[in-house]
């Protein structure tokens, strides 16, 4: 799917995914990558801001799948797995897991995220990795961490990026050929909160409570609810696990 990767590194931009959009306007091909050292309007999932100070990794990859568009949401799991495979050999202090659909967690704190966008029939995979600094998120947001807190040897940004792109290119080729099926087991091996109670927030409406039972073959979440049985969830945000942990419970004094 990507025969050649071509990486352009820019000091500062609004968002690397904006650069990708302009490049698509100009006919850019699959495998075109934009990396920036600083983003002034970095964006995350669900319209959130992705704080993008210097030192962390921000990149967007242009991808033209040959699979039908209905399969494309699965790419967010594929990208998450490429990230997990990149982090795995580096982290020597902390538990690496994936939070559906594609947040990378270490010790339950977010270290990287993926934003999938479709523009003019082309996919843009935007990836942000907290290499050296974790954003100062408010109490309402999922806590964050950075790679430097979980390694013993320094990791260079270019090396991390090259490893990530190698994993991504390999996984994308396999996905384009075979779909999500080969990724279900490896993704599930990294899955956070498997068989635990979770709360899933939606763009509109009330959150759904249920037990996270892994993923369906199409990558949607298997959420077992008390009221409606097993649901297939295609979008949403795991905001919390349940029951509330002792240390988080304001009514718990010890
Ligand atoms: C998330 O909310 O977890 C997704 C974050 C994605 C951030 C990356 S940084 C590179 C690319 N450019 C953006 O503006 N966003 C993505």
- For the chain, helix (H) and strand (E) counts, in that order, are 4, 12
Give pLDDT tens digits for 9-57. Answer: 999 999 999 999 999 999 999 999 999 999 999 999 988 999 999 999 9
pTM over 0.85: yes
Q: Which atom from ligand 1 is nearest to the alpha carbon of 45?
A: 2
Model pLDDT, residue 251: 39
Would you state the torsion angle of the CA atoms of residues 176, 103, 112, 186, taken in this order, to the nearest 10 degrees? -50
| Protein residue closest via CA to atom 11 of ligand 1 | 126
Instruction: Give, for ligand 1, the residue of 10, 12, 17 to mutate: max count of ligand atoms closer than 8 Å to Cβ.
Output: 17
Give pLDDT tens digits for 74-96. Answer: 999 999 999 999 999 999 999 99
| Protein residue closest via CA to atom 2 of ligand 1 | 44
- The residues that bridge with 12 in the sheet, in sequence order, are 38
Model pLDDT, residue 203: 86
Give pLDDT tens digits for 110-169. Answer: 999 999 999 999 999 999 999 999 998 887 789 999 999 999 999 999 999 999 999 999
Assess contact for 52 and 90: CB atoms under 8 A: no
Residue with tokens 């759904």, as numbered in its chain: 208
- The residues that bridge with 113 in the sheet, in sequence order, are 128
- Within 6 A (CB) of ligand 1 lie 15-17, 39, 42-45, 48, 50, 58-60, 103, 113-115, 126-128
Cα-to-centroid distance, 60 and ligand 1 (Å): 8
Secondary structure (3-state) at 250: coil
Model pLDDT, residue 247: 40
Model pLDDT, residue 250: 39
Cα-to-centroid distance, 44 and ligand 1 (Å): 5
Model pLDDT, residue 242: 60
Would you state the torsion angle of the CA atoms of residues 73, 75, 78, 79, taken in this order, to the nearest 10 degrees? -110
For range 98-102, the mean pLDDT: 94
Distance CA 224, CA 117 (A): 28
Q: Which atom from ligand 1 is nearest to the alpha carbon of 36?
A: 10
Tell me the CATH number for domain 6-190.
3.30.930.10
Give pLDDT tens digits for 182-212. Answer: 999 999 999 999 999 999 999 888 999 999 9
Asked whether residue 254 carries a pLDDT value surpassing 70, the answer given is: no
Q: Where are the domains of the chain?
A: 6-190, 197-246
CATH class of 197-246: mainly beta
Instruction: Give, for ligand 1, the residue of 44, 111, 143 to mutate: max count of ligand atoms closer than 8 Å to Cβ.
Output: 44
| Protein residue closest via CA to atom 5 of ligand 1 | 44
Contacts of 149 (CB under 8 A, 6+ apart): 93, 94, 134
Express as a percent the part of the chain with pLDDT over 70. 95
Model pLDDT, residue 2: 80
Structure tokens at 25: 């306007």
């Amino acid at each position: 799917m990507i025969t050649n990767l071509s990486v352009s590194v820019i000091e500062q931009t609004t968002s690397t995914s904006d650069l990708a959009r302009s490049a698509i306007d100009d006919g850019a091909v699959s495998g075109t990558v934009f990396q920036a050292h600083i983003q002034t309007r970095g964006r995350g999932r669900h319209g959130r801001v992705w704080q993008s100070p210097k030192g962390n990794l921000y990149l967007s990859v242009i991808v033209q799948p040959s699979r039908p568009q209905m399969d494309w949401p699965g790419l967010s799991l594929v990208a998450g797995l490429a990230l997990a495979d990149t982090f795995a050999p580096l982290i020597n202090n902390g538990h690496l897991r994936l939070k559906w659909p594609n947040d990378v967690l270490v010790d339950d704190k977010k270290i990287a995220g993926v934003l999938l966008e479709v523009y003019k029939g082309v996919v843009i995979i935007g990836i942000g990795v907290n290499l050296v600094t974790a954003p100062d998120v408010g109490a309402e947001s999922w806590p964050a961490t950075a790679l430097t807190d979980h390694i013993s040897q320094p990791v260079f940004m270019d090396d991390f990026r090259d490893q990530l792109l190698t994993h991504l290119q390999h996984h994308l080729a396999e996905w384009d050929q075979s779909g999500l099926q080969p990724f279900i087991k490896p993704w599930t091996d990294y899955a956070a909160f498997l068989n635990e109670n979770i709360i899933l927030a939606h763009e509109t409406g009330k959150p759904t409570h249920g037990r996270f039972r892994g993923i369906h073959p199409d990558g949607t979440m298997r959420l077992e609810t008390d009221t409606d049985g097993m649901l297939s969830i295609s979008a949403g945000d795991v905001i919390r696990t349940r029951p509330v942990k002792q240390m988080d419970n304001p009514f718990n004094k010890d």
